Amino acid sequence: MKFPAPVSVQWVAQLIGAELSGNLSAEVTGINEIHKVEHGDLVFVDHPKYYTTCLNSAASFIIINSAEIAVPVGKTILIVADPFEAYLKIVQHFKPFVSTEKAISNTLIVGEETIIMPNVFIGNNVRIGNNCTIYPGVNLLDGTIIGNNVVIQSGTVIGSDAFYYNTKKNRSHWYKRMESCGNVVIEDAVEIGANCTIDRGVTATTLIGAGTKIDNLVHIGHDVSVGKNCLFASQVGIAGGTIIEDGVILWGQVGVNKTITIGENAVVMGQTGVTASLAGGKTYMGYPAAEAGLKRREIVWIKRIPELWKKVMEQND
């Protein structure tokens, strides 16, 4: 999330009660989680396991719970007891929750010849392009941006909060949700089936590329980037932060792990479990996903195990 205007790191430190070290005169341009940080961004880290990753990332400012670290040249650290709570305070300051008092917010911007059917809910600051069709029961939540010639079928929810929790066990409640301040962008000529769910980015954008077609009952997690002209069949699930490049086909019930990449024009067969990044231009199947030809040979050999075992036992008699 970018701030409306840059703010001094001194001001941020005062807001969250932080002690500063490093570059004390810099300006903060936004806040992001580690997978999306850019120069000028603020990020938080609250576990030594991830200190090095955050300090060496593109982030210019790091909220951290240790003063006993070397500050990289040009960066600033903001030392607090609980970085997670500090992050939440910043998000709540720059993007506080604002409820919508009617089914379609007055802030909606909608293009020509777009059809919005009854019983659609549209939150704050939503933009819809030209010649779109939004079917009954669709929910377009705050900050959603939709291009031209988009079709969204009934029951679909766009822009729900990210499934993203602090799992540290030193709390009275184990899991506390990380506030989502990102959004969803759906480019031109996308079609989304019934009862799909697409989560907003935690701090950035969940993107559905132009020309992509999505079947019913598909879930796309926070900060996923889907390329152009992809095809997702029913019951596909994609976890947060994953990159799906152009032309990828995911057939029914494919499950995709978080923060991995599926390369351009890859085809993933039904019920495959994708646990690691896949190169483009190949067909995959099975769990864990592997090239389809290899998996088919494995299946043949597995089916032959009883026969081979019988022969071994006969030889030993």
Same-domain status, 175 and 260: yes
- Choose one of 71, 94, 117: the last residue of a domain: 94
pTM for the model stands at 0.92
The mean pLDDT value for 194-198 works out to: 98
Q: Copy the structure tokens of residue 233.
A: 């069949």
- Encode pLDDT of 125-149 as tens digits: 999 999 999 999 999 999 999 999 9
Q: Is residue 17 part of a domain?
A: yes
Q: Is residue 310 part of a domain?
A: no
Do 87 and 113 sit in the same domain of this protein? no
DSSP string of 60-78, one letter each residue: SEEEES-S-SPPPTT-EEE
The rounded distance, in Å, linking the Cα atoms of 246 and 249 is 9
Residues 6 or more apart in contact with residue 46 via CB below 8 angstroms? 64, 65, 82, 83, 84, 166, 168
Residue 35's pLDDT is 84
| Pair (14, 76) in one structural domain | yes
Q: Are residues 157 and 27 in the same domain?
A: no
In DSSP terms, 256 is beta-bridged to 238, 274
Based on the fold, state whether residues 146 and 184 are members of the same structural domain. Answer: yes
Extract the tokens encoding 262.
């599926």
> What span, in angstroms and rounded, lies between the C-alpha atoms of 284 and 254?
11
* CATH assignment of the domain containing 34: 3.40.1390.10
121 and 180 fall within a common domain = yes
Residue 169 pLDDT > 70, yes or no? Answer: no
Domain-embedded: residue 240: yes
Evaluate whether residue 101 is within a structural domain.
Answer: no
Express as a percent the part of the chain with pLDDT over 70.
98
Total domains in the fold of the chain: 2
- Flag whether 313 is in a domain: no
Q: Which of 174, 168, 13, 182 lies closest to 90, judged by CA?
A: 13
Same structural domain for residues 167 and 249? yes
Whole-angstrom distance, CA of residue 27 vs CA of residue 233: 45
35 is a catalytic site residue: no
The CATH code of the domain that includes 206 is: 2.160.10.10
Long-range contacts of 109-113 (CB under 8 A, 24+ apart): 111/148
User: Could you tell me the residue range of the domain that residue 21 belongs to?
Assistant: 2-94
Burial class from Cβ neighbours inside 10 Å (0-12, 13-18, 19+) for residue 289 reads buried
Domain boundary residue among 94, 122, 153? 94
Residue 67 pLDDT level (bands cut at 50, 70, 90) = confident
How far out from the chain centre does Cα 6 lie? 25
- Rounded to whole angstroms, how far apart are CA atoms 45 and 277? 25
In-domain check, residue 43: yes
Residues 219 and 274 in one domain: yes
Same domain for 260 and 140? yes
18, 9 Cβ separation under 8 angstroms = no
If pLDDT is split at 50, 70 and 90, which confidence band does 30 have?
very high
Whether the per-residue pLDDT at 174 is higher than 80: the answer is no
